[in-house]
A and B are shown apart, each in its own frame.
Chain A
Amino acid sequence: GEDVEQSLFLSVREGDSSVINCTYTDSSSTYLYWYKQEPGAGLQLLTYIFSNMDMKQDQRLTVLLNKKDKHLSLRIADTQTGDSAIYFCAERIGTPLVFGKGTRLSVIA
């Protein structure tokens, strides 16, 4: 079945690293994505990883993929107050994406 699970809340101090975790169920997923949603806005693609990769780094963002455990994580280094948002994990099965419920990241100054 199609199901993407994420913890709902994460709170970190400014300057610390944030790690947001996600598990997915469909081993045929080709791409996995992280989207960011700020209040009142649509979703913005942050980064993605192809299923044959196990790590991708893009500036402050590091994505780790454990395909055996169907586990995806997003690490944000040096978290800033502007990183406060909801982060959605999504898997691609065919054309549409299947999203998790999102993790609300709160950054404490």
Chain B
Amino acid sequence: DAMVIQNPRYQVTQFGKPVTLSCSQTLNHNVMYWYQQKSSQAPKLLFHYYDKDFNNEADTPDNFQSRRPNTSFCFLDIRSPGLGDAAMYLCATSRVGTYNEQFFGPGTRLTVL
């Protein structure tokens, strides 16, 4: 089945230790998104790729970076995680067209010790 896969599902890191979260998709969608979701809050868009074009949200901290080496994969790098970065990170994909349905992965829950 075509899907959005996120690895790992749970990630524990130490304060200040770089961490990378990964997302892959078999849908061949041209847009990929990274959202941060904290408890009882809306998913907050960090950035998205339209093909290779990177689009950063204005309020996304510099601590967050992303890479998209090919259509299928997208990575979220957190250079120096702080306690406030503990959250669920959701990857989503879409194909630009009519109603722009976004397909979400199951998320990676990040814990910062």
A residues sitting closer than 8 Å to B (CB atoms) are 4, 8, 31, 33, 35, 40-45, 48, 50, 88, 92, 95-102
Contact A42-B100, Cβ < 8 Å, known A88-B43, A95-B50, A102-B42: no
Output the residue of A33, A48, A99 with the most chain B CB within 10 A. A99
Q: Please tell me if the beta carbons of B100 and A99 are within 8 angstroms of each other in the complex.
A: no
Q: Please tell me if the beta carbons of A96 and B33 are within 8 angstroms of each other in the complex.
A: yes
Total residue contacts A-B, CB cutoff 8 A: 57
Taking CB atoms, residues of chain B closer than 8 Å to A45 are 101-103
B residues sitting closer than 8 Å to A (CB atoms) are 4, 6, 31, 33, 40-43, 45, 48, 50, 55, 57, 90, 92, 94, 96, 99-107
Complex A-B: 25 CB contacts under 8 Å: A8-B40, A31-B99, A31-B100, A33-B101, A35-B104, A43-B43, A43-B90, A43-B92, A44-B104, A45-B102, A48-B99, A50-B99, A92-B100, A95-B31, A95-B55, A95-B94, A95-B96, A95-B100, A96-B33, A96-B57, A97-B45, A100-B42, A101-B40, A101-B42, A102-B40
Contact A88-B42, Cβ < 8 Å, known A44-B104, A96-B48: yes
Q: Please tell me if the beta carbons of A101 and B41 are within 8 angstroms of each other in the complex.
A: yes
A92, closest chain B residue (CB): B100
Taking CB atoms, residues of chain A closer than 8 Å to B94 are 95
Taking CB atoms, residues of chain A closer than 8 Å to B103 are 45
